Structure formats: structure tokens, C-alpha cells
């Protein structure tokens, strides 16, 4: 089997995924940065969704209901302006 010339492996000591380096033993600052990264990546939302299996029909129904709610609030917002 022939390997590509520019093939590079990932270093084994490098962590994949979200990671934060701690400078000058500033754990609180690093924790703040980590929380921000987790929030921006929506990691917890994905974990919540995949906590247990949901039927595709239930997911579609929930999306439809949320769209109805968004539309209802948008209409109310427009009516308030006038």
C-alpha cells in the first residue's frame, strides 16, 4: 500500500476537541474560557438532545410546534408596533 508523501499523523500528546491551556496557574481564567468555548460550540445542547432516543416523528412535531410559536410571537411583535 502506497502512502502519500504529505501525510502527517496527529501528535499523540495533543488533545482533540475543546481544550484550554492554563497560564500562570490561573485556573479560574482558563475555566471561564472553557465555559465560553463550550457555550459557543453548543456541546451541552447536543448532549441533551442525544441523551435518549427520540422518534423522528416526535422531532418533526416539535419543530413544527416551535415554528408555530415563533410565528405567533412575530405576529404579536408586529401588531404591537402599530
pLDDT tens per residue, the chain (82 residues)? 566 666 556 556 565 678 889 989 999 999 999 999 999 998 888 888 899 999 999 999 999 999 999 999 999 999 887 7
Q: Where are the alpha helices (DSSP H) in 26-55?
A: 27-41, 43-49
Whole-angstrom Cα distance, residue 58 to residue 76? Answer: 27
Whole-angstrom Cα distance, residue 18 to residue 35? Answer: 10
Q: Where are the domains of the chain?
A: 1-51, 53-82
| pLDDT the model gives residue 19 | 87
- pTM above 0.85? no
Whole-angstrom Cα distance, residue 10 to residue 14? Answer: 7
| pLDDT the model gives residue 31 | 94
Whole-angstrom Cα distance, residue 47 to residue 68? Answer: 25
| pLDDT the model gives residue 68 | 97
| pLDDT the model gives residue 82 | 75
Amino acid at each position: 500500500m502506497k502512502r502519500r508523501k504529505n501525510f502527517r499523523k496527529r501528535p499523540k500528546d495533543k488533545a482533540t476537541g475543546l481544550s484550554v491551556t492554563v497560564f500562570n496557574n490561573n485556573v479560574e481564567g482558563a475555566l471561564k474560557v472553557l465555559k465560553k468555548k463550550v457555550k459557543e460550540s453548543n456541546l451541552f445542547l447536543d448532549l441533551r438532545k442525544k441523551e435518549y432516543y427520540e422518534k423522528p416523528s416526535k422531532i418533526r412535531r416539535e419543530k413544527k410546534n416551535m415554528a408555530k410559536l415563533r410565528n405567533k410571537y412575530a405576529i404579536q411583535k408586529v401588531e404591537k408596533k402599530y
